[in-house]
Amino acid sequence: MVKIFVKEGQNIESVLKKFKAKLKKAGVIEEHKKSLRYEKRSDRLRRERMTRKIRAKKAQDFIDRI
């Protein structure tokens, strides 16, 4: 759950900006977008596999630079 505390006289635009940033950081927006459409199990597994492969490659490249 994302909570934002608003002080009296605080600009509404800045409050909304903080709220959206916290939602994004918590992953609420991404989770909501995923729930809007059905994803086949095979597609989900393929996407997760590719994500793991990319992360492993980035980690290996980082280690190689050291």
Look up residue 45 and give its two tokens: 């597994």
Q: What is the pLDDT of residues 6-57, one digit of tens each?
A: 999 999 999 999 999 999 999 999 899 888 999 999 999 999 999 999 999 9
Closest of 14, 33, 8, 34 to residue 22, by C-alpha = 14
The more confident residue out of 53 and 4 is 53
pLDDT at site 1: 82
Alpha helices in 1-66 (DSSP H): 12-26, 28-36, 41-65
0.85 exceeded by the pTM? no
Q: In angstroms, rounded to a whole number, what is the distance separating the alpha carbons of residues 46 and 48?
A: 5
pLDDT higher than 90, residue 64:
yes
pLDDT at site 66: 85
pLDDT at site 2: 87
Look up residue 1 and give its two tokens: 């759950």
